[in-house]
Structure formats: structure tokens, C-alpha cells
Structure 1
């Protein structure tokens, strides 16, 4: 089955900004940042005209919007049934997708998958409501994925990356996503884990500063009364003014030392006969950072530090060591964020890796697209691996099953004959077993019990590995390596160097089906011939006669009669001890005979083949999971 040619679109609809990225499924695919109005990142805003036309992104601020037209900004939040909220979110989302099609960045939708992000602490019902909100027959139904996990995936694929898959598998990674409206904390352990160890967050975002700067700038305006009157007459002025305040805030945090006392300059906006200009400097920002939040005794920075301490306690309580911290999100460039992280975590444990996302604007969108591609390729790889295993492996194992017996039977005889057969025959000679049938059952039981010991299990595993590496494994890779190349899995990743693990064979209810019937039947032969040769004078003559003229009858006699006969002790004593002990020297002969009997037993061979397939399937599935970690 070939890999379908699909494009995965990551849609980061943030409270402050929007970005989109796309990546196809084919091998060595390159990520592409999609553009909205010729820009890779746009403000999450739109203008709705009374004729129904929609202008999205920064274009919405190009002119003053007069009622009844509407200018909408900062409208993203958890999915609700509120009509105005649903209308704003849907129109913005659909208009953005239509723009991609109109600009031929997405020629058609039938081969596209959309993945949209959400705060990591959203519950499943909230995610389902969010998905339903954006469902429209005109476009693919979007999938909803945690923004923090997407950001982590994006950062781990960058050139010169600091964070690795080993960091996730060996300990915990803390992802801190500081956005415009929320700050989310996600604690992750394990590269392939579907669920994080802990998700939590707070409605604590950089838009708080936009609001405070806006209020302060209006209050300090030379014509404040007139400005407030104009705002009351046209609510569309507020988003324009807040947009300027956001630009001033971002410019300040790009170089705070340059604006310790002087105001940031981002221009002004003429509103009626009044000028509005945002006022931002170091003195004001220091005040905003440390003043108590509304309905709280804590400031912005104190609240953030409390959340950091909570994350630290969560990791410690779960018994994990923190290996790395990833700071992402549009607000991550605020300097006091980094300093707080260093104070809470890095001063005490400087060995913790700390990485700040170098491209927070694209991080989530890129990670969402990569997440979609990676998940598809993993599922496709596992499905195709299973198909190859089901279709090719049974024939391959059956073709080499005799080689498995060639290795197994001699090693098994090396244990069974000295430990169980020879002592059992001496016990039979002494009359401890009434019949050889009872002796045979005893040997079979002892052998089965031994096979369930660590030594027996290790024997089967070592036999399986020796058999695998003699050639079966190479033929297996002949089928698997092409799948690896199609799914961006490095060739050779599915090389099962130890396909048979001893612990996987320990199952008392379903022991590995070593067919012991040929062995115990051969014991019947041994006893029969020992007795025949022990007969006075006529032994050799009778033996020769039986060998040439009555072999089938002897087989039948051994299977049906001799094993049930309770021989007199006197007759048993005629069996020479040396003859019994000599069996230890005949292991090779006994092994060959046993192997011939097993090979001719279709049922026994099918049981062995099915068990080999069962254990190989488990290992192949494990290896497929491991190999899928290489998919980027």
C-alpha cells in the first residue's frame, strides 16, 4: 500500500496572532509557511462590512471602520454557544481558508487535513465543541491538538536543536506556552505518549498589558474627554487603538533598555480631531508588571511565578527529574518571563536544558502540521508493517521452520536426556513406574516444567535468535525496508537484532508448543529394543527379523501395547545399566530421530510456526513503534 499524497495544514488561531503552515506526506517533505495578505503572520482580527464582505488580519486596521460595519479583535476563547462568539470565530476561520484557496496556496481541499490548535489544558468536551464550531461541508473537518505539544515537536525538528527525544524518555520536559490570553503549562514524559503527565494554565496573557496600556494612554491623552466621547460613539475605534498599544508593547520588549524612560514610538492615529498615541516606557511597564491583577492579591509576575512553582511541585510529586524546559508563545519574549524561569528552576539545577523558541510566531502552526503528518505516517507505517507481516511472514517462517528444529532439538536433547530420560529409565527399572506410558508422561511433564523456568525460556529465546540471524531476519528486511523509505523511517530501523526475548515466552497457560510426543515415543523404542536384545540367545535374531519384516507392526505395537504393559521386575532387571547410560552418548542420533518425527507431524509444525509468528508479531509491533519515532 502506497503512502497517500496528503497535505497537512496547521492552523494556529491565536488570541493575538494567526499563522498557518503546510507539509505533505512524501519522504523528505519540506514545511511551508502559508501567507495571509502576503504576510506569514497576521493579527487575529477582521472587519465585517455591511455588505457582508470580510477583511482579515492587519488589513482590518487600514482605515477607521464606521458603524454599522464592525471591527473585531481578540475574540478567541473557549467554545461557547454565544451567537456573536460563534459568528466571529466561524467567519474569521472560513474567510482565512477561502483566502488560501483564492490565492492558490490550497488549490483544492480533498487532499488536505486541517489541524487546529487549542490550549493544552482544554478538556476533551471543550475540544469536541471547538471542532464542531469549525465544521463546514466546504472544508475538511479539523482535528484539534494541544498547542504546547505542537510547539515542542516544531522546536525538536529545528537545526541545532537542544531538546531531543531522549530528554522526553529519560525524564520530564516542561513546555511553557505564554500566549496573548493564556499561559499554559504542559509536563510531558515519553516521545510517543498520547497524554501529558499534567496540563494546567491560567487566563494570564500578554493582552493584559495591551489593555492597561490602552487605559493609561486614554487617561493621559491631552484631549481625553473628547477621545472617550468618540469611543462611545464608535466602538470600532477601540480595536484600532489597542492594536497600536500591542505594537508599542512588542517594540518595548524587543529592547527594554532603550525605553527605560522614553516612550516607545510606533506612530499615532488621528481619530476625529484628536490624536491617539500609545504611551509605553520602562517606568509604566514596571508598574504594570508588579501591580495586583483585578480580583487578585498577586501581580502578573507573582501569578506567573506561582504557576512555575506549581509545575515544579507537580514534577517532583510524580517522581520525575526535569530534563528540559521549552519556552514558547508570542509573549515568551518578555524578559521577566525568562528571568522568572531561571530563578525558580535553573539556579537550583543549572543542568536542566532551557530552550526558548526562536520562532514563536510560527511554532504552533508548524508543529500542528508536523503533528498531522507524523501521526498519519505512523499509522500508515504500522498498518503496512502489519499487512506485510500477515501476508509474507507465514510463508517465510514455514520455509525456514526446519532450520529452527535443526537448532532447537539438539540443544533440547542436551538437557532432557541427562536430566529426565536417563533418571526416568532407572526409576522405571526399579519399579517406580508401572508402565512406560507413566514414565513418558512424567518425562513430558518434567520437560514442560523445565521449559517454563528461566533456563528453559532462555534456551528457546536463544534458539530463536540464532535461527533469526542465520537468514530469516535478512529476508524480513527485504520486505520491510521499502516501507521504511516511503515513511521517512531510516532504512534498517526495523532490524530485529533480538527478536526473541525470554520474558515474552513466560506464559504458563500457553507454553511454547515443543512437541514431545516423538521424544517419548522414541523412549518406547529404546525400551522395546533393550528388552528384545536382552532376551537370551534369540535377541539378535529376533531383532533382525523385526527390522526387515515387521517394522510397521512394531511401531503399532509400541504405540498401542508395550507402553501399557506392566513388565515384571525380573524382566526389567535384564535391562543393562550401561545400555541406559549410553543414551547420553546417543543424543545426536536421538535428536535426528526426534527431528524427523516432528517434521513429519503437520500439526506439530503448524503449532511451532504459529508460536514463532505470535512472538515475532509482538516484537515487530514494538519495533514499529520504536521506528516510528524517527518520523519527523
Structure 2
């Protein structure tokens, strides 16, 4: 049985279900290994989104997908370019979902280590509304693996974030517009202050617009060819094959290759040959970028209009970076129009645009699992013996510092205007000042930051949580200061009494002691010198003994003052909660990037 607890998932599978081509990749959720792309025969990494029914020799038929649906010699029917907004009233499983079910079943049978230990992330056009997304998700719910839906441009953004994450010289993704140009739609996601926002525009503008226009031009060019039109109109598959031929011709001109066109012409079912051969020959002679893409009313004009709409949604906010992904980003006109629309921004294309969404979907899965594991480990951090010991040792050292400072100042008879403070609040403030508590707590914060931050960052790095420019913001609980005051306050009268003795003795060191010495010297002339000398000696010895007793009392009283173990435990818990809260904010940053609906959608 498939596990659906996110932190227990071993693999994340990304499925970019495209209108023209699809792709699938997967990666383990542990570690940072790169995603592996699933390939199937002649399809390679890009699997043509085609669904066909192939006749079986023993009777009946079976569903086939990809190149097999197009090239099979005995295919009854196949469909391409069938990705569309699902109808919530239609209970029939859409062809796109059927295609995905077959592809995933095939993949999981070839990789049993993934089956039962994965979550599949499927992309959906960003411009779809909530009802359409929910309907799409409902159709996927019948699968025997958990499936999550994520906006396609959102997935591409995650891939871009991962790709740029290892380069420290790169700016952070503060104000970024991701433009994912697919076959059925063009999707937009804008990021500002680490919060992504999906823009509900472009849902009707995909590169399939170019394919359909080319198909119209081909039919018009051969309208008088009876053999051509008969073969094309024999069944619905003829129109589907023509659309595929137009797509391949478009790709060939933008990539400078012709191999896939030759494969299509040689490998197709013979019933398509009467119209496919002439169509491919005619398409080779058409300047597709100039005449169809950039011509009046062409795709470029529609793309420019949508960019204007995006500018209106963003208002005065200008993106610093525009990232173009998806297969359509290979068209140079896409980059030029983005530069025209956002002249202050840097515009960059992904190095492998056709795989951006797929890799991003798998990465979304790994990030979600890692966030769940990260939170688990951060909450367990406070229970680690070394974590508790560092806080405990720092706290006890701070108490010793405060106690020693107070001892020194009392023994040195520090002058203080509040020496006679009797009110409890005044005494606490007085003790806080005499102990140098503010300085003690400042040093404790620095110490705990230095000792605890590496432990937190190690968990960040383990789960790929941002760890740059990190500094814990520790606000030490008041229990530290109040605990020290609580230990000292009951002894205060004793301490102040002992210090008063020291102050009295010290005050005698001037005129009073001189007078006693003078009296003692004068008495030597008297007859009863011995008796008077003994009395005088006793008087003079009294202050010294009293001083020693007072000093001992102060020292013993303070040395016996200790923090209560419960107070220490309370501080450990308090500091741990602060670290957990700050780490949780780091996790939320990742969650915003990988959520199903990351922010308030624009254009509603």
C-alpha cells in the first residue's frame, strides 16, 4: 500500500503532462541527488502526448501511448493535443488522465523500489480556476498512488530556485516573474519578498496555437487535392496526425533539425501517407518563425498582449528577473518580447526548458518531505543532551558571573544612591544594577548563539533549508534575572547589614582611629598603663574581627545562593521554543514555494 504520510515518503515523482509532449522524472527524498528522467524507447525524455488503441492479433485492442500510438501500423485511433480544462459535469475520465495512468503504471512496474513509496506530483496550468483544478484532481484520485497537483509555472519556479541556490553570487529570488510557455497554456508566477503568486492569465495562449494555424494553412494549400483530403478526412486520427506533423515542423525550424520529421514520415501507418508526405514537404518551405509566429495575428502578438495584461496586474511592482521556461522559450521572439515588456529586468532562459516543470515537480515533492522531516528534527533538538547541556552550562555560568560581580561590589563598598532601598521593586532594580545583569545577559546571548546556531544550521543544511546570513534572535526569558533576584532578595537584609559593618569600620579609618591611637599613646604616662593598654588593644582589635566576620558572612551568603533546577529547565524549554519558532519561519519560506496554491491569485 502506498504511504501518504509526507515525512515517510521515499521518492517524489514529477509528471509534466503536456499538451504536445510529456515527461516524467523521479528522485529520492533523502539527499540531494539530481532527478532521473524516465525514457521509453524512441520517445527519449520527451514523450509525445498521444493515446491510441492498437488492434491485437487475438482480437480486441489495447491502449498505447507515446510514439507507439503514432507509429503503430494497426492503430485504430489515436489522439494528440488533448489537454484541456476538465468539465466538472463530465464524469468520464479525460484522455490526458488516461495517458497519465498508463505512463505511471508502466514506470512503476519498471521501478518497483518506487512503487508504494512515492507521491506523484502532476502539473496543471496556472490559469485554471479552483473548480477546474479540483475536477482534475478528482480524476487522478482513482490511482493507486497518492497524486498531488501543482501549478506548472510554480513548479518551474522551484526548479529555478534549486538551480540558482548553489550560486552565492546570484541575487535571491526577491522579485521574479516566471513565464512557462507550454503547448496548451502560458503560465505566469510572480515572486515578491519570497512569496509566490500565481497569475490567472495566459490559459488560452499556448504554442499549440501555432500548430493549429499551420494545420489550417496546410488544408488550405491542398484543398484541391482529392487524394490528400480523402486520406486526411478518413477518421479523426488524420487530423491528429496533421497536428503532430505541424508541431514537428515547427520544432525542426526552431532547433535546426529534421530527424523527427523523417521518422514521422517513414514510421507512420500507410493510411496517413497520402497527406503526410505532401504536408511535410510543404511545411519545410514555410518560414514558420516569420510568417506564423511573428506575423499579424500570430502567436507573438497574443503573447505581447498577455505580457501587457501581466504588467497591469503587477502595477508599479517591477520584476528584477524574468525567467522563461517551457518548450516555447526556445523561440527568440519570446525573450525579445519579455525584454520589451520589462526593460529594467534581467531576462534569462532555462538551460533545459522542456524539463523545467518536470524537475520542479519532483523537487516540490522532495522539499515537502524535507520540510516535514526538518520540523520533526527541530522539535527534537531540545531533547538532545548536548543542546540542553549548552543552555544549562551557559545559564549557570551567567548566574556565577552575576553573583561574583555582586560579591565584589559589596566587599568593595560600591557607592549607590539606592543603598537603603527597602521596596521590593527597588531592591530588584538595585540588585540588577549591582550584579551587572544587563551585561551578563548580553554575554549569555552571544555565547548561546555561538554554540546553538551551528546545531540548528546543521539541520537546515541536511534538509536544504536556507541557512545564509543566519543569526538566532534569542530573547532570554526574564526568569534568569528574576531567579537571581529571588535568590538574593531574602538575604538582602543580611548582606546589607554585613556591608554596613564594613562601611562603619572603613569610616573609622580616619579621625576615629587616630583619636583612639592618640589616647593609647597618652595613657602610657599613666600609672595603670597595663590595664588601660589591654582595654585599648581590645577596642582596636574589635573592628578587624568584625570586618572579617562581615566579609565572611557576605561571601558565604552569596556562595550558598543557587538556581533552582526547575528554573534552569524552564529556561532550557524557553530557549528551545524560540529556536523552534525561528526555524519554523525558515520552513514556511520553503512551503510558500512548494504549496499547491502559494498566494492570493491575481486576475479573479
- Matched with 1:207 is 208
Q: Which moved more, 1:380-389 or 1:197-206?
A: 197-206
Return the alpha-carbon distance in structure 2 between the equivalents of residues 156 and 82 of structure 1.
38
Gaps of 5+ in 1: 294-298, 429-435, 537-581
Return the alpha-carbon distance in structure 2 between the equivalents of residues 155 and 534 of structure 1.
73
- Matched with 1:113 is 119
Return the alpha-carbon distance in structure 2 between the equivalents of residues 97 and 400 of structure 1.
55
2:29–2:365: 8 Å Cα contact kept in structure 1? no
Return the alpha-carbon distance in structure 1 between the equivalents of residues 471 and 556 of structure 2.
27
Please report how far the alpha carbon of residue 34 of structure 1 lies from its aligned counterpart in structure 2 after TM superposition: 0.5
Tell me: CA distance 1:342–1:596, structure 2 relative to 1, closer, same or farther (3 Å): same
For residue 447 of structure 2, the aligned residue among 466, 485, 497 is 466
Q: Deviations over 1:402-444 (max 9, x none)?
A: 22322455568999999x9932235x6xxxxxxx3x2x33232
1:386-535 maps to which residues of 2 (within 5 A)?
A: 386-392=379-385, 393-394=387-388, 396-398=390-392, 400-409=394-403, 422-426=416-420, 436=422, 438=423, 440-444=424-428, 460-466=441-447, 469=450, 472-473=451-452, 477=455, 481=458, 487=463, 498-501=471-474, 504=475, 513-529=482-498
TM-score (norm 1): 0.70
Please report how far the alpha carbon of residue 218 of structure 1 lies from its aligned counterpart in structure 2 after TM superposition: 1.1
Return the alpha-carbon distance in structure 1 between the equivalents of residues 309 and 145 of structure 2.
39
Q: Deviations over 1:91-119 (max 9, x none)?
A: 211111122244x2345511122111112
- Matched with 1:565 is none
For residue 33 of structure 2, the aligned residue among 29, 32, 40 is 29
- Matched with 2:306 is 307
Return the alpha-carbon distance in structure 1 between the equivalents of residues 430 and 85 of structure 2.
66
Give SS of 1:174's match: strand
Return the alpha-carbon distance in structure 1 between the equivalents of residues 202 and 166 of structure 2.
23
2:124–2:133: 8 Å Cα contact kept in structure 1? yes
- Matched with 1:379 is 372
Please report how far the alpha carbon of residue 244 of structure 1 lies from its aligned counterpart in structure 2 after TM superposition: 0.8
- Matched with 2:238 is 237
- Matched with 2:513 is none
Q: Which moved more, 1:384-393 or 1:112-121?
A: 384-393
Please report how far the alpha carbon of residue 271 of structure 1 lies from its aligned counterpart in structure 2 after TM superposition: 4.5
Tell me: CA distance 1:184–1:511, structure 2 relative to 1, closer, same or farther (3 Å): farther
Q: Which moved more, 1:607-616 or 1:11-20?
A: 607-616
Give SS of 1:423's match: coil
Count of residues in correspondence between the two structures:
530
- Matched with 1:55 is 64
Return the alpha-carbon distance in structure 2 between the equivalents of residues 100 and 265 of structure 1.
25
For residue 561 of structure 2, the aligned residue among 586, 597, 600 is 597
- Matched with 1:135 is 141
Please report how far the alpha carbon of residue 227 of structure 1 lies from its aligned counterpart in structure 2 after TM superposition: 4.0
CA RMSD, 1 decimal? 4.7
Gaps of 5+ in 2: 1-6, 506-546, 595-604
TM-score (norm 2): 0.73
Alignment partner of 1:146 is 2:127? no
- Matched with 1:551 is none
Give SS of 1:304's match: helix
Tell me: CA distance 1:222–1:264, structure 2 relative to 1, closer, same or farther (3 Å): farther
Return the alpha-carbon distance in structure 1 between the equivalents of residues 389 and 480 of structure 2.
23
Return the alpha-carbon distance in structure 2 between the equivalents of residues 197 and 164 of structure 1.
26
Q: Deviations over 1:17-50 (max 9, x none)?
A: 1100111133342321101345221111110247
Tell me: CA distance 1:11–1:464, structure 2 relative to 1, closer, same or farther (3 Å): same
- Matched with 1:10 is 14
Return the alpha-carbon distance in structure 1 between the equivalents of residues 167 and 314 of structure 2.
19
Q: Deviations over 1:172-226 (max 9, x none)?
A: 11111111111111111355x4x43755433111111111111111111164455
Tell me: CA distance 1:153–1:100, structure 2 relative to 1, closer, same or farther (3 Å): same
Q: Deviations over 1:120-175 (max 9, x none)?
A: 344444433322211225x31211122223223334555xx699688674631111
Return the alpha-carbon distance in structure 1 between the equivalents of residues 577 and 48 of structure 2.
55
Give SS of 2:26's match: strand
- Matched with 1:250 is 251
Q: Which moved more, 1:23-32 or 1:387-396?
A: 387-396
Tell me: CA distance 1:461–1:94, structure 2 relative to 1, closer, same or farther (3 Å): same
Give SS of 2:236's match: coil
Q: Deviations over 1:362-420 (max 9, x none)?
A: 221122112211221232123123213234334553355322322455568999999x9
